[in-house]
Structure 1
Amino acid sequence: TTHSHRGSSRTAVFLCSHGDEPAPAPATYFQQRVPVPEDRNTNRISLRRLWAFTGPGFLMSIAYLDPGNIESDLQSGAKAGFKLLWVLLGATAIGLLLQRLAARLGVVTGMHLAEVCHRHYRTVPRILLWLMVELAIIGSDMQEVIGCAIAFNLLSSGRIPLWGGVLITIMDTFVFLFLDKYGLRKLEAFFGLLITLMAVTFGYEYVTVGPDQGQLLKGMFVPYCEGCGPVQLTQAVGIVGAVIMPHNIYLHSALVKSREVDRSNRKEVKEANKYFFIESSMALFVSFLINVFVVAVFAEGFYGRTNQEVFHVCNQTGSPHSHLFPLNNHTLEVDIYKGGVVLGCFFGPAALYIWAVGILAAGQSSTMTGTYSGQFVMEGFLNLRWSRFARVLLTRSIAVTPTLLVAVFQDVHSLTGMNDFLNVLQSMQLPFALLPILTFTSLPALMSEFANGLVFKVGGGVVVLIVCAINMYFVVVYVTELHSVWIYVTAAILSVAYLTFVGYLFSPSCSSAGCNDGLVRGFSTSLRTTST
């Protein structure tokens, strides 16, 4: 057993020693640990202990509420009504199981997923895996920038141009770095406030529209899609791709390290796993309700409507945005921007502004969690320590530059259309989080008695394969819509390389005893800090 003492914090790991002389481990991202009150009666759920563990799950759940998810929700409601709510429920349930694995890895090992990958994979695959995860983080950051820019434009009635909104989001760098200095619990409370703001704003839209509760419950619990075609099928796939975010697995496995857990005590580790699972369940339940609000609003208010209908209503209400809807009988297609406009046309200006506030809260809240993800991933994969300022500045610059160019030289349609491409990008990166987390949490040498059982291994493997297959279908559909031979050829070449790399990650060769020994030795070495 190894122990570490850093100020008032402690970490310990139960692991068999292999005779290696441990070296000091680098400092974690969080400079403090949240103490957990003791409770001798472990047969009941202690609210005091649950409160101490509350925080990481809600920060993680923000990824389920980013602007990309909100756009997927409203498109689901507008294109399929209530028929795809069961897909959203299933995707959220799968997400909860994956987040459980991520939290368990962090609690049991004291290392997050990127750190374990650093010790498990050779240099070249590790660098490739890092690049794939970084692409996912940058893609998510771009969606946040797009969402915030659109929100600023709507709130200002067009006075703040889209490119101006993009530039304003650069200030997030300094705002969140400032908030971070006030301590972890205060930061968690601030994000809790933003989640509450999303619940209130989107809940207001839900109450205002008044969806059919019978249809809502049927769509949520009865797996059906009567009359659905390729459009609805693609939308269903898009829901899965938008809900399950690859970098979120890396994030959650690191966030749980912010609590004081004595890892030499198996009972305490088991308790921590229990409370983190309860907290994650509550957090994802809240995020699921908010997503349901958005789907239901657009399912009730705009499913089956045509552009011509919306044009006439917007024209009658004096909306300056009626030109967005051409005079034809084509089915209405909405995005984050048009979503706010049609809400304003049908339910009054208040609905538009409240919608914009909700989108702004979604974009702002997901900004910092993306920053945390990037920090953990860079430190874990590369063992490279950058300042928070440098890390945020780099990723935000990469995200802002292409978004700014589109905002300046194109229009809002091109800007919102980028979300489709970014959802495809997220889908492609999904195996690079799911396969490692399932592999590592199934290794007894790493997880001891907390390793996945046979049922969870098989079930988890099937779920991962299904999710990856669904998302690959989404990618294929997107590429075939581009109608370019060169794109087809390039996509085919990249697909072969992509599937080869995924196959490498899926390979069971590293579950051998020798690989396990090496992983455990590196794991034991990494967790030893200077001790008295």
Structure 2
Amino acid sequence: MVSTHDHSKPLLLDSDRDLPEAAYDEADKVHVVGINEAGDDDCQTPPFSWKKLWLFTGPGFLMSIAFLDPGNLEGDLQAGAIAGNSLLWLLMWATAMGLLVQLLSARLGVATGRHLAELCREEYPTWARMVLWVMAELALIGADIQEVIGSAIAIKILSNGALPLWSGVVITALDCFIFLFLENYGVRKLEAVFAVLIATMALSFAWMFGEAKPSGTELLIGIIVPKLSSRTIKQAVGVVGCIIMPHNVFLHSALVQSREVDHTKKGRVQEALNYYSIESTVALVISFVINLFVTTVFAKGFYGTQIADRIGLVNAGQYLQEKYGGGLFPILYIWGIGLLAAGQSSTITGTYAGQFIMGGFLDLRLKKWMRALITRSCAIIPTIIVALVFDTSEDTLDVLNEWLNVLQSIQIPFALIPLLFLVSNEQLMGSFKVGPVLKMVAWLVAALVMVINGYLLFDFFASEVTGWLFSVGVSAFTSGYVAFIVYLVLRGINFSSWCGSKRSMVQ
């Protein structure tokens, strides 16, 4: 059911506690020119306007940061070094699958006026809601540790090693205050900062691409011709697995509420969906090109070499420097600048996502700065411990990264399953629910992503789990994990059936 709240009417004043936590206050939303024009048809979508597209542009680019975080960059460089250009087609299709999921998340947020965490709070019983919240927080913390470590590595590179990993973590932690400072100046100012960071990444990695001079023919063949071998299966799983981030699904459904949308008019809701679809597509095309730059640079320099299997985020800059030399500007520092932009932007969006996840699931009555501080502390404290323990060991950092990838992979069903059931619910979405074809495609994509991540989990635990006690613990966790996924699926099916029977009774 599409929200029909009339923003021209005053809000209820008898009890603030009865009002749910909103993603954005009305005063903070971006005013879209013509949004409150009188006399237009409620069901007619207004004609396309470049000015309106510009005003709606922003949320998709903030969302796209998750496709460019240090974890993705590490997946890119390893895929390039080990598989060459043979997985570029998979990178393209994985980005397309990610776009589909993010468009569904935006659709849910625009059509209902609420974000995914809020709707999960209303849809599920307390125990299930708390499990979903804990899982979302764990996914966010895992992603944040990778992003902060990535920033710290970049700071260490740019300081010529003068600043150790732990100090880079502390410096990166301060971005929380930068975020709080920028947020006070409005949504558009914050989005402008992210645009600069994305442009910095694009320029840095494009410069590297120019230095490497990869073959255009091989690049096109890699994009067009699907290739997969037993030797590159792990890299293929990594390419797909790191594209869809659980916290990003929650984030996008909240970001789209930063614009004024008159929910009393179907045409205005459809207009917002159209503009968000365009800007999200453009944002992810740009993210694909940036990821392609990184993959092809490492494919050109290290594919087929003896060191290909040893390249990771920690030593990638040094290997680049040894391969391509200094040039006009040392490529080591170009890599460091791009990595720093990726790490800083993704940690700030992680703080943003943490606000919405915590506020939505728990309906907290906390100031935004306090929620941001709590969210940042949850990630920074374990990250500092990790940095102190693993500062001098590249191998242990790689193992840590694998564990963090597993941590995020197991959370994916807990974002995708609720999203797909909610966006298919006619009672909630009204005429904006997904149609049968799109619903089938979305479930196929979700199933494919979950199967791929299931393979990653199986492969990881098969090699890492030793000892009967650890095996028993993993088996018990797996049983509970599968049981909860089955519960989410059955509840979604039963709820959909109940809604259908209720509509039949009304008719």
TM-score (norm 2): 0.90
Match of 1:169 among 153, 168, 172: 172
Q: Deviations over 1:283-302 (max 9, x none)?
A: 00011110000001001111
Aligned to 1:495: 478
Q: Give the conservation status (yes or no) of the 8 Å contact 2:261–2:272.
A: yes
Aligned to 1:275: 275
State the shift of 1:44 in Å: 5.1
Aligned to 2:340: 360
CA gap 1:459/1:5 in 2 versus in 1, 3 angstroms: same
More displaced stretch, 179-188 vs 331-340: 331-340
State the AA in 1 paired with 2:256.
V
1:450 to 2:432 alignment: yes
State the shift of 1:489 in Å: 2.5
1:47 to 2:27 alignment: no
Q: Over the residues paired in the alignment, what is the CA RMSD in angstroms?
A: 2.2
Q: Deviations over 1:315-370 (max 9, x none)?
A: xxxxxxxxxxxxxxxx5421112111111112224100010011110010011211
State the shift of 1:408 in Å: 2.0
State the AA in 2 paired with 1:395.
T
Alignment partners' CA distance in 1, 2:8 and 2:144:
35
Aligned to 2:183: 180
Q: Give the conservation status (yes or no) of the 8 Å contact 2:21–2:365.
A: no
Alignment partners' CA distance in 2, 1:272 and 1:292:
30
State the AA in 2 paired with 1:81.
G
More displaced stretch, 186-195 vs 27-36: 27-36
Aligned to 1:321: none
More displaced stretch, 278-287 vs 169-178: 169-178
Aligned to 2:385: 405
Alignment partners' CA distance in 2, 1:117 and 1:483:
33
State the shift of 1:271 in Å: 1.0
Alignment partners' CA distance in 2, 1:365 and 1:24:
32
Alignment partners' CA distance in 2, 1:451 and 1:490:
41
3-state SS, counterpart of residue 48 of structure 2? coil
State the shift of 1:157 in Å: 1.1
State the shift of 1:101 in Å: 0.6
Aligned to 1:527: none
3-state SS, counterpart of residue 7 of structure 2? strand
Alignment partners' CA distance in 1, 2:457 and 2:429:
34
Identity of aligned residues (%): 48
1:248 to 2:244 alignment: no
Aligned to 1:477: 459
Q: Give the conservation status (yes or no) of the 8 Å contact 1:146–1:416.
A: no
Aligned to 2:223: 220
State the shift of 1:391 in Å: 2.5
Aligned to 2:95: 92
State the shift of 1:463 in Å: 1.5
Aligned to 1:504: 487
Alignment partners' CA distance in 2, 1:234 and 1:516:
45
Aligned to 1:71: 74
The 5 A counterparts of 1:281-430 are 281-307=281-307, 331-349=308-326, 350-410=330-390, 411-413=392-394, 414-430=396-412
Q: Give the conservation status (yes or no) of the 8 Å contact 1:304–1:332.
A: no
State the AA in 1 paired with 2:336.
A
State the shift of 1:5 in Å: 4.3
Alignment partners' CA distance in 2, 1:169 and 1:200:
22
Alignment partners' CA distance in 1, 2:19 and 2:501:
22
Match of 1:468 among 439, 450, 458: 450
Q: Deviations over 1:40-60 (max 9, x none)?
A: 896753110100110000000
Aligned to 1:229: 230
State the shift of 1:172 in Å: 1.4
CA gap 1:452/1:516 in 2 versus in 1, 3 angstroms: farther
State the shift of 1:517 in Å: 7.7
Q: Deviations over 1:448-499 (max 9, x none)?
A: 1111111122221122111101101101111111150333322221111111
1:130 to 2:115 alignment: no
Structure 2: which 5+ runs fail to align? 12-16
Q: Give the conservation status (yes or no) of the 8 Å contact 2:46–2:268.
A: no
Alignment partners' CA distance in 2, 1:416 and 1:407:
13
State the shift of 1:415 in Å: 2.8
Aligned to 2:33: 37
Aligned to 1:439: 421
CA gap 1:409/1:282 in 2 versus in 1, 3 angstroms: same
Alignment partners' CA distance in 1, 2:29 and 2:82:
46
More displaced stretch, 504-513 vs 192-201: 504-513
TM-score (norm 1): 0.86
State the shift of 1:386 in Å: 2.5
State the AA in 2 paired with 1:424.
V
Alignment partners' CA distance in 2, 1:144 and 1:387:
25
Q: Deviations over 1:422-463 (max 9, x none)?
A: 111111111111111110110111111111111122221122
CA gap 1:484/1:170 in 2 versus in 1, 3 angstroms: same
Q: Give the conservation status (yes or no) of the 8 Å contact 1:446–1:516.
A: no
Q: Give the conservation status (yes or no) of the 8 Å contact 2:157–2:333.
A: yes
Aligned to 1:28: 23
Structure 1: which 5+ runs fail to align? 11-21, 308-330, 519-532
State the shift of 1:503 in Å: 1.1
State the shift of 1:387 in Å: 2.6
More displaced stretch, 103-112 vs 36-45: 36-45
